[in-house]
Amino acid sequence: MCGVFGVFGHAEAANLAYLGLHALQHRGQESAGIATSDGKQLSLYRGMGHVIDVFANPQIKRLAGTSAIGHVRYSTAGGSFLKNAQPLAVDYSEGSLAIAHNGNLTNAEQLRTMLEERGSIFQSASDTEVIVHLVAISKQTTIEDRVADALNQVDGAYSVTLLSQDKLIAARDPHGIRPLVLGRLDDAYVVSSEPTSFDLIGAKLEREIAPGEMIVIDKDGMRSSYPFGTKPRKMCIFEYVYFSRPDSVLDGVSVYEARKNLGRALARENKVEADIVVPVPDSGVPATIGYAEEAGIPFEMLLVRSHYVGRTFIEPQQSIRHFGVRLKLNPVGTSLRGKRVVVVDDSIVRGTTSRKIVKMLRDAGASEVHMRIASAPTSWPCYYGIDTPTRSELIASNHTVEEINKYITSDSLSYLPLEQMASCVSKAKVEEFDPEDGKTHLPVQNEALDKDSFCHACFSGDYPVRFEKQRGPRQMRLLDI
Ligand code: AMP
């Protein structure tokens, strides 16, 4: 997972990118970067860590120009090193180009081999770099045709922003697996993975960038085209379950309401007598509110989260992750003592977190602990940009619910069937009030959504885009910087 941002036509482009990335920080915490253009040349600054730590005032000041793209990263393809941080920026025969990518290309290995055989030298282990090489060797003449040509050759998930000296290009893969939205800030155009960035900078959400759409923004305004053909909409359902921020509306669906609906359905799914419902913060909170409402059981915030550590799962080292769970959550012992507790989380991946939480609640005095998961069992790896482990590490891929219950030592465990998940998310379509015309509108697409409108491969194994098993980064570790 990653977050991308872009702005065109604003005197404060670098500052806006900084703020936009700050609102996307939840999408990746390993590295952050911004590339800007002053119309003649690109400037780039990238670093490892959180946006707020990477960018101090002098760095932002040096990023000159009125257009910018930015990126926050956590690694799905390529290791956690500065050379893999984005935006990637290059000079090639026709000018300069920077790119920021959210998603994962499923044919990157084959394309890289083909490109290397014809002489390309890769600077990073990131799948995104193949796009840059394909742009550079394209026979097309304009930058937009070169980008369309390159993106036509890649498969998988991509929501990308690209910056040349005088153009901002944003594109979303034909299935629209990862989100991408378009907004306006006065006369400037802005694009972002999620509209939370727009709220922060005071921009207005115009619409989603549609699956398969490429938009080009330059001094003459914005042009839209569909150079990659159209395919069935397959927005990642896990964005609604876990990844996106709850204050985002994505493809017309409120993430917060979707999560509440998931919790309500969960309460109906497998009823249990309990005294209190406790969320695993933060991602489990909206589902727990829905659960408590539906079940009529009091909601209690009895797991306190430290906000001074990142999302532990994102850290790539297993040793850090184990340490992270203990570092992140602490129970309110005095209020848990003797209570029958339902604890709600959005998902179980390896089972590590749930097991520790159940133990934590029991050690704090809970008399019963019932685990409820506001999604279906995660049984299949994601090849489209979410960092999930291999099948053998996914506990639900080789264990029954009863076995998982035993492993995490809960009194009972239940998940939500996929069909119900899809209808909970679909039901969360929202209309927004527009003060300009005094009417309510669906902010984006208006198609009916059902299970087939989503990519749910991590729950079903039903992969919308074919993929070859990838060999992973092949560069020598000695070169890692
Ligand atoms: P695990 O301990 O491996 O079972 O991880 C489960 C926890 O990780 C849950 O609390 C989820 O909220 C969270 N989670 C699930 N998927 C991801 C992901 N792709 N990246 C980061 N965190 C995740």
Query: How long is the chain?
Result: 481
Q: With a 6 A CB cut-off, is 29 part of the ligand 1 pocket? A: no
Q: Where are the domains of the chain?
A: 2-234, 253-424
Ligand 1 midpoint to CA 343 (Å): 15
Q: Which atom of ligand 1 is nearest to the CA of 325?
A: 2
Asked if residue 437 has a cis previous peptide bond (ω within 30° of 0), the answer is no
How far apart (Å, rounded) are the C-alpha atoms in residues 31 and 47? Answer: 6
Q: Counting runs of H as helices and runs of E as strands, what totals does the chain give?
A: 16, 25
pLDDT of 197 reads 98
As a whole number, mean pLDDT of residues 258-282 equals 96
Q: Answer whether residue 315 shows pLDDT above 80.
A: no
Mean pLDDT of 357-376: 97
Q: What's the pLDDT score for residue 446?
A: 58
**Ligand 1 atom having least distance to the Cα of 353:** 2
**Residues 388-401: what's their mean pLDDT?**
92
Spatial contact of 235 and 193, defined as CB atoms under 8 Å apart:
no
> Strand ranges (DSSP E) for 387-468?
412-414, 432-434, 439-441, 454-455
Instruction: Name the residue of 243, 349, 373, 405 to mutate for ligand 1: max ligand atoms within 8 A of Cβ.
Output: 349
Distance (Å, whole) CA 46 – CA 35: 8
Ligand 1 centre to CA of 126 (Å) is 23
387 lines ligand 1 (CB under 6 A): yes
Closest CA to 173 of 233, 129, 114, 217: 233
Distance 347 CA to ligand 1 centre (A): 6
Query: What is the predicted pLDDT for the residue at 317?
Result: 54
Least confident of 200-214, 250-264, 369-383, 432-446: 432-446
The residue nearest atom 21 of ligand 1, judged by CA position, is 313
Give burial (CB, 10 Å; 0-12/13-18/19+) of 403. Answer: middle
| Predicted local confidence at residue 331, as pLDDT | 95
Q: To which H or E segment does residue 125 belong? A: none
To the nearest whole number, what is the mean pLDDT of the chain? 91
Question: Could you tell me which residues come within 8 angstroms of residue 16 by beta carbon, excluding any fewer than 6 positions away?
Answer: 7, 10, 68, 185, 188, 190, 201
Facing residues of 88 across strands? 99
Residues linked to residue 253 through DSSP beta bridges, in sequence order: 250, 429
Centroid of chain to Cα 424: 20
Contact assessment for residue 353 and residue 280, using Cβ atoms and an 8 Å cutoff = yes
CA distance 87 to 25: 15
Closest CA to 305 of 323, 339, 341, 280: 280
Q: Nearest C-alpha to atom 8 of ligand 1 is from which residue?
A: 313
Question: Could you read off the pLDDT of 20-54 as tens digits, one per residue?
Answer: 999 999 999 999 999 999 999 999 999 999 999 99
- Tell me what percent of the chain is helix, strand and coil, each rounded to the nearest 5: 35, 25, 40
The domain 2-234 having CATH identifier 3.30.1330.100: the answer here is no
Q: How far apart are CA 213 and CA 72, in angstroms?
A: 22
Q: With contact defined as beta carbons under 8 Å apart, do 6 and 191 qualify?
A: yes
Spatial contact of 467 and 381, defined as CB atoms under 8 Å apart: no
Q: Which of 278, 353, 405 to mutate to test the pocket of ligand 1 (most atoms within 8 A of CB)?
A: 353
Per-residue pLDDT for 10 more than 80? yes
Cα-to-centroid distance, 3 and ligand 1 (Å): 18
**Cis peptide leading into residue 275 (ω within 30°):** no
pLDDT bin (cut points 50, 70, 90) of residue 62 is very high
Mean predicted confidence (pLDDT) in 193-203:
97
Q: Ligand 1: distance of its center to the CA of 156 in Å? A: 23
Give the pLDDT of residue 226: 97
Tell me, what's the pLDDT at 395? Answer: 97
Distances (CA, A) of 110 to 84, 157, 466: 19, 16, 13
The response to whether residue 76 sits with its C-beta less than 6 Å from ligand 1 reads: no
Instruction: Answer yes or no: is pLDDT of 470 > 60.
Output: no
Residues tagged active-site: 2
Q: What percent of the chain has pLDDT over 90?
A: 80
The separation between CA 114 and the C-alpha centre of its own chain, rounded to angstroms, equals 29
Query: Given pLDDT bands bounded at 50, 70 and 90, which one contains residue 471?
Result: very low
Ligand 1 atom index nearest CA of 280: 10
Position in ligand 1 atom list of the atom nearest CA 348: 4
Burial class (CB in 10 A: 0-12, 13-18, 19+), 309: middle
Task: Report yes or no: 210 and 134 within 8 Å, Cβ to Cβ.
Answer: no
Q: For a ligand 1 pocket test, name from 313, 326, 345 the mutation site with the most ligand atoms within 8 angstroms of its C-beta.
A: 313
Q: Are 305 and 329 in contact (CB under 8 A)?
A: yes
Q: What are the helix (H) ranges across 329-451?
A: 333-336, 352-363, 401-408, 418-426
Task: Report the nearest atom of ligand 1 relative to the CA of 355.
Answer: 2
Reported as half-sphere exposure (CB side, CA atoms, 13 A), residue 319 has a value of 0
Residue 444 has pLDDT above 90, yes or no: no
Ligand 1 touching residue 350 (CB < 6 A): yes
Strands 181-185, 204-208: pairing is antiparallel
pLDDT for the residue numbered 57: 83
Tell the residue nearest (CA) to atom 22 of ligand 1. Answer: 313
Architecture in CATH of 253-424: 3-Layer(aba) Sandwich (3.40)
The alpha carbon of 312 and the centre of ligand 1 are apart by a number of angstroms equal to 8
pLDDT at 316: 52
Atom of ligand 1 nearest to the CA of 386: 19
Model confidence, pTM: 0.92
